[in-house]
A and B are shown apart, each in its own frame.
Chain A
Amino acid sequence: MANFDTGIFPTWCGGCGDFGIWAALKAAIKQLNWESHQFVIVYDIGCSGNMASFLRVYAFHGLHGRAIPAATGIKLANHSQKVIVIGGDGGLLSEGLTHFVAAARANMAITVILHNNQVYGLTTGQSSPTSLKGTKGKATPLGVVEQPLEPCGFALLSGATYVARAFAGTIPDTTKIFVDALTHRGFALVEVLQPCVTYNKLNTYDWFRQRVKPLSTTPTNVYEAIAKAAWTDQDIFTGVFKRDEAALPYHLNFEILKEKTLIQYQEKRDLTKYIISQK
C-alpha cells in the first residue's frame, strides 16, 4: 500500500479540524487504492493548504483563492488524473468565488474539499464569508453585518452535480463521504465542518455536535436539497445532498478528449492547408 507521509508532522494547532480531514482523506485514498502518481492535490493558501507539506503526492500549492482554476487546468491537460482541491472558506468562497461557480457550472471533474471553519485562521482571525452574522473578527470588531454564504446551497444553485457535507469531528463518516465524492465523475463539493480551536470560539466541536445530524434520505430535487443543506438553529445535516452521475463532465463534451488526453497530442502539425487558404 502506498505511503503518503512526507515525514513532516502537521503544524496545525492541536485539536484543529484539519487533522480529521487529513486523516479521512488519507484513509479514503487508501481505500480507493490510488497510487501517489495517479492523482494531484491542488491546495489553496490558508491553514488547509498547509496540508501540502504533509502528503507525499503530486501537489500544486498555488495562490490564495486560485486553486480551482489550477485544478481545472490540470484536469483538462490530463483527464486520466484524479484532481482534488483542498481549500478553505476564505480562499474558495471569497477571492475564489467566481472560480467556484465557474467550475460547478462547467461540471469540471474535480473534487473540492472545502474546510469550513468560518474564519481566516492563518492570517490570525478575521471573519470569512461563512462567519455567522454578528461574529467579531480582527477586521470586523463591530461584528459581521453580512449574511453567511452557504457553500452547499450555493454550489447546488450553481449546478454542482455532487454536493455533500461532512464533519471533521467524525473521521469514519467523513472518510465514507470522501470515497463517495472521489468516485463521482463530475464536479464534487464536500463542505467539511472544521472547528478552528484558536480563532473561532463560537462554532466549536461541542457546538457542532449539538447540531450535526445525518441526513436520513437523499433529497429528490435541487430545491429540496438546498432547503436540507441550509443551517438552522437546531440542525446542520451531514451527508450527500445531491449526486447526479448522468451529467456529462466538462471534458467529455469534447471529441478530441474522448480517445486521448490533451497532453498526448504531440504530433507535428501541418499548417499548409491554412496557409494556402490565406493566399
Chain B
Amino acid sequence: MPEVFGIKIAGPAGAGSMSAGETLVRAFIKAGYYVLGYPEYPSLIKGGHTSYLVTISEKPFPNTAPKVNLLLALTQGALDNEHKSLDEATQVIADQTLKTDHEHKKLHQPALLEVAKSAGNPLTLNTAMLGFVAPQLKLDPNLVWELIRAELGAKSQTLLDQNKTAFDKAGLLSIQYHLNLDLPKPNNQTYRLAINGSQATGLGAIAAGINFYAGYPMTPSSPLLHFMAAHQVEFGYLVRQAEDEISAINMITGASFAGAKAMTGTSGGGFALMEEGISLAAMLETPIVIYLAQRPAPATGLPTWTAQSDLLFAINAGHGEFPKIILAPADPDECYRLTHRAFYLAQTFHCPVIILSDKYLAENYYSSADFPALDPVPLSAVNATPKPEMFARYAFTPNGVHSRTIPGIPGGEYIANSDEHEAHGLVDESAENRTLNNQRRRNKINEIKNYLPLPSTSGVGNQAVISWGSHKYIARQVAEEMKMAHLHFNHLWPLPEKLDTILSGYTKLISIENNETHQLARLIAQETGITIHLQLGEDTGRPLDPYKLIDQIKHY
C-alpha cells in the first residue's frame, strides 16, 4: 500500500479539468484522506493544456505525488501531452475514440464521449469521467455527485439534468471495469477542510476586521480579489477594483489614514508599481497590508506558474530606508493566522506589512484543520484633547511608535505628510529633524526585530535544511529523508536578533528555495555573516521536486 497516490485529470482549458480536480480533492477529504490539489494551466482561456494533480496520502501535508498513478485524459491532446510523464504502472482512462502510439497495457477506454453526447451535452465529458472513476477510487458516487451539483451551483436545470445523466451512465459503465487501484489508507480525522491559500488569506483578513480591499487583477493574486469581492456584503466591508495597482495602494493608504483596516493584493509586476506607495505608507506611518502572490518573472514571465523569486524584492521594496514587515505563510492555516497577524502588526507598528505567497500556495487546495475563531484587530486610534497646535502625531517615542488619530476626532488634526516632517506633520527639512526621524525609524525597526519570532524548528541533528514560505513541506520531506533538522521561516523581515546563535549551532546548513539565486541564503549571509553551505533551488515555474533535492544533497 503506497503512502501517496497521484491522480491527474488533464484536458484543454475550458473542458473542466480544473473543476473536476477540485471535486476530487473535496471527495477525497470527505473520504478521509490527506490531500493536495495542484493545478497547472497556461495563460489562456480556451484550449492549450491544463491539468490538475490530486495527491492523496496517509500523512498530513503531502507534496505533489512523485508520479501519476492514474491519468484521466479528457482529450487526444491531453493524452498526447501527458504520455511522456507516464510509466509502465500508470493506469490511464481515456475515451474510446482516443488513440495512442504507445503500447500501454493499463489503458482503459470506456465510451465516455458517447455517454456525454447521449446525455445531451458533450461538455459533460468531465462529469462522465468523474462518474466513471468514482467507483474505481472507492469514492461514494452520491457524495461525488453532490459535490458536482454544488460546483455547478444554480445554473440551469437542463444543465444539471445533463450532468446527472452523464454521471450516472458513466457509473454504470464503470461496473464492467476493475482497475484494482492500490490506494493509501484513509485515516484523516482532523484535516477536514478543503481550502486554498487565497481563501485562507481572505478569511484571515475578514477575521482581522478588514474594512477595505482594493486591487487590480493579476494572476495569481486575483483569486484573493475574487474571494474578497464575493464576501463583502455578507461580512460588511468594501472591495474596489482599482484602475491600476498604483491607485490600489494609494487608496488603501488613504482608507487606513481615515481609520479603515485596509489591504491590497497583487503579483510581481503590480507590486513593482506599488513601490512608491509602500514608501509613502512608511513615511506617513499608516498601517497597510499588502498581499504579494509571486510568479516567475522578469516582466510578464510565466503568468500562471510559481516561484519564490520576489523575497529580496519585497524586502527592498520602496525608495529610502524605513521599517516594514514581511511574512510568508506555508499553508492555509498559516495564511489565515499570519494574515490576521499582518493586520495586528500593521496596527501595532504603523508600517506596511507584506504577505508573501505564490501561485503554488495561492491556488493549491489543501486538507486543513479548522481555523480558530479570532477577534478583530483593534484599530489603533486614540482620542485627542483640542489644543491651539495640531496633534503631535509624530512626536518622538523611544520605540518609534506614537499614538495616532483619525479624521473626525476633534483636536486630532495632523498632516500625514510625505515630506519629511516635524511632530505635527509640518514640513521640516532641518538636519536635526531628519536625524531625529531617522532615529525614530531605526528604533521602530529594532522594536519589530525584538518582537518577531525565530524560525520554527523540527527534527534534530547537527545539520539543518532551511526553507521559507510555500516550500515548507517540500523541505520537510527532504529533511526527514536526510535525517536532518528543519528550520522554516515564516517571518522574513526584519530577521530576528538571535538568528546567528541558532544557525551557528549547526555544522551544515542547506537552503531550499524556489528561485535561481538563493535569496534567503543571501539574506542570511547579509544579516548574520553566516554562509549557507549548500544552496539548492531553481525557478522552472514548477514547485521544487523533493526527490531531486534529496539526490543533490546525497551527491554533494
Q: Check if B259 sits within 8 Å of A77, measured CB to CB.
A: yes
A263 close to B203 (CB less than 8 A): no
Contact A271 B207 (CB under 8 A): yes
Given contacts A56-B413, A61-B417, A274-B231, contact A72 B277 (CB under 8 A): no
Interfacial residues of chain A within 40-89, with CB under 8 A of chain B in the complex: 40, 42, 45, 50, 52-53, 56-63, 66, 68-74, 76-78, 80-81
- What 1/0 flags go to A25-46 for Cβ under 8 Å of B? 0000000000111111010010
Q: Fill in one digit per residue for B27-42: 1 if any A CB lies within 8 Å of its CB, else 0.
A: 0011000000000000
Contacting pair A73 B408 (CB below 8 A): no
Residue of B nearest to A257 (CB): B238
Partner of A78, one of B209, B242, B407: B407
Say yes or no: A58 contacts B203, CB within 8 Å: no
**B426 A8 Cβ-Cβ under 8 A:** yes
Cα A134 to Cα B352 in complex, Å, equals 44
B250 within 8 A of A: yes
Closest chain A residue to B332, Cβ basis? A278
With A61-B416, A62-B418, A102-B243 as known contacts, state yes or no: A269 contacts B235, CB within 8 Å: yes
Question: Given B206, B256, B262, which contacts A271 in the complex, CB threshold below 8 Å?
Answer: B206
B207 touches A269 (CB 8 A): yes
Of B188-196, B304-312, B474-482, the segment with at least 4 beta carbons within 8 Å of chain A is: B188-196
A256 within 8 A of B: yes
Q: Is the CB of A73 within 8 A of B233?
A: no
From B209, B258, B277, B410, give the contact of A266 (CB < 8 A): B209
Q: Is the CB of A73 within 8 A of B192?
A: no
| Interface flags, B406-422, vs A, CB<8A=1, else 0 | 11111111111111000
Contact check, B407 vs A99: say whether CB atoms are below 8 A apart.
Answer: no
Known A-B contacts A53-B426, A70-B254; A37 and B410 likewise in contact (beta carbons under 8 Å): yes
Tell whether, in the assembled complex, residue A37 and residue B412 are in contact, meaning their CB atoms are under 8 Å apart: yes
Q: Is the CB of B418 within 8 A of A63?
A: yes
State whether A268 touches B407 (Cβ < 8 A): no
- Asked if B390 CB lies within 8 Å of chain A CBs, one says yes
Pairs of residues from A and B, 8 with the lowest C-beta to C-beta distance, nearest first:
A73-B254, A70-B254, A73-B255, A69-B250, A77-B260, A77-B258, A73-B251, A102-B243
Name B's A-contacting residues (CB within 8 A): 29-30, 192-195, 199, 203, 206-207, 209, 211-212, 214, 231-233, 235-238, 240, 242-244, 246-248, 250-260, 262, 276-277, 280, 284, 370-371, 373, 375-376, 379, 390, 406-419, 425-427
Give 6 new A-B contacts, CB below 8 A, not counting A59-B425, A263-B258.
A58-B413, A59-B414, A72-B254, A98-B247, A274-B203, A278-B199
A-B residue pairs in contact (CB < 8 Å), sample of 20: A40-B407, A53-B415, A53-B427, A58-B407, A60-B284, A66-B277, A69-B242, A70-B257, A72-B247, A73-B255, A74-B254, A76-B260, A77-B258, A77-B260, A78-B259, A80-B408, A102-B247, A268-B373, A269-B209, A279-B192
